[in-house]
Structure 1
Amino acid sequence: MCLKNGNPAGLRLDSVRIRLDGRELLAVDRHVAPGETLTVMGPSGSGKSTLLAYVGGFLDPVFSGEGRVICGGRDIAHLPAEERHAGILFQDPLLFPHMSVGGNLVFAIPQAIAGRKARRARAEAALADVGLEGFFDRDPDTLSGGQKARVALARVLLSEPNFLLLDEPFSKLDMQLRDQTRSLVFDSARRSRLPVILVTHDEADAKAAGGEVIEIG
């Protein structure tokens, strides 16, 4: 998580602006406290996902962005994506099909956790945390949509991110699974004290997140 002097500091978007061909798509100036969610709502093409790309460090060069992204007391806006340590969930879980469920999780565990047994134990504990105990050796293709979403969440949390970026990760789930997955994601973020930015067009997502909502577009 974003730490300052050893304490959770949250994530600050300081005068962040996204432009396309000189036209301003959005402007955001907000602080997201540890465990809280900032929701950005708007229609397709309004710049929601582009905001996440700027914060995460993978902005398409067709767009221009400016403003500070402050994590742990330092501006990370000019760092490469791999140094920002953002945890990202997209509409699709994006699991590696050539790896087992456990392999997907072990891949995300920081190298500081050494040893095959220790890394497997960490992955198995993460699966248990999302209600998938015993799924380590499963093929991702055999999982339901809800199970894949849970594995994707476990993988993100295992990577020990500084903050979470959620790009409409519930939109392809049916209504029941959507409610369950929302609760799991936001409860996990609160327990882990991670600041979260959610972009969505669904008011139910914003309500489940329970934080401040910015409407754009």
Structure 2
Amino acid sequence: MAGLRLEGLRITRAGVPLVALEAEIAPGEVLSVMGPSGSGKSTLLSAIMGTLAPSFAMTGLVWLDGCEITRQPPEARRVGILYQEELLFPHLSVGGNLAFGLPRAVRGRAARAARVAAALAEVGLAGFADRDPATLSGGQKARVALMRMLLAEPLALLLDEPFSRLDAGLRAQVREMVFARARARGLPVLLVTHDAADAAAAGGCVVELG
């Protein structure tokens, strides 16, 4: 079954219930999870990524495109994530950052450079491969982070309030760019946010924690 499915997902800490969620996200659709700080939004993403801290306990299953990934290591899950900060590598060029996301199956310097160039062109950054990430604007950094994640060919996308640090005008632009590319690639998207405008822009269902 295509998409991301959370089957009876329950997360506790020291025996205290924190998150309980049953959800199905079809390819190209967005599920928004809202709640105040401390309600378990980021913990939910960690459970899906496979990076849940040992202080938490989880039951239930995580399915992606018909495969159960609950116990797979994070690097095998093919789940992409965008955070509040772009987390670009400062010691790599823009092109180097993008190349880092490429699968190992893409071999040869020319082939990898072509993928990077195409990704930059897709988001209006053609010719930026040799730029230092420190010279980019906030919107440009957000676009590079998005394409680095997409070049890794994920099967699902998690959004950990990636728009919260952008000003209002840029926020709307980056938000639409992210959702449009997720739809074009048929990726199920889970957005966690405390901002109702982000959830409204995403469309789809909204779940409130806490």
* TM-score normalised to structure 1 length: 0.95
- Correspondence for 1:51 among 19, 29, 44: 44
One-letter amino acid of the structure 2 residue matched with residue 121 of structure 1: A
1:119 and 2:112 aligned: yes
The answer to whether 1:189 aligns with 2:182 is yes
Pick from 3, 18, 30: which aligns with 1:10?
A: 3
Residue 14 of structure 1: SS of its match in structure 2?
Answer: strand
- Aligned residue for 2:19, secondary structure, equals strand
Choose the corresponding residue for 2:172, options 179, 192, 199.
179
How many residues end up aligned between the 2 structures? 210
Partner of 1:133: 126
Displacement after TM superposition at 1:185 (Å): 0.3
The runs of 5 or more residues in structure 2 that have no matched partner are none
Pairing partner for 1:101 from 77, 94, 105: 94
Deviations 1:39-65 (A, max 9, x none): 100000000000000001101111111
Partners of 1:197 and 1:149 in 2: how far apart?
A: 18
How far does the alpha carbon of each residue in 1:49-91 deviate from its partner, in whole angstroms, 9 at most, with x for none?
Answer: 0000000110111111111101122210111100101111000
Instruction: State yes or no: 1:33 paired with 2:26.
Output: yes
Deviation at 1:179, TM superposition (A): 0.4
Q: List structure 1 segments (4+ residues) > 2 angstroms apart after TM superposition.
A: none
Unaligned runs of 5+ in 1: none
- AA aligned opposite 1:67: G
TM-superposition CA deviations, 1:107-165 (whole Å, max 9, x none): 11111111101101101101111111111110000001111000000000000001001
Q: Name the counterpart of 2:207.
A: 214
1:157 aligns with 2:150: yes
Percentage identity across aligned positions?
61
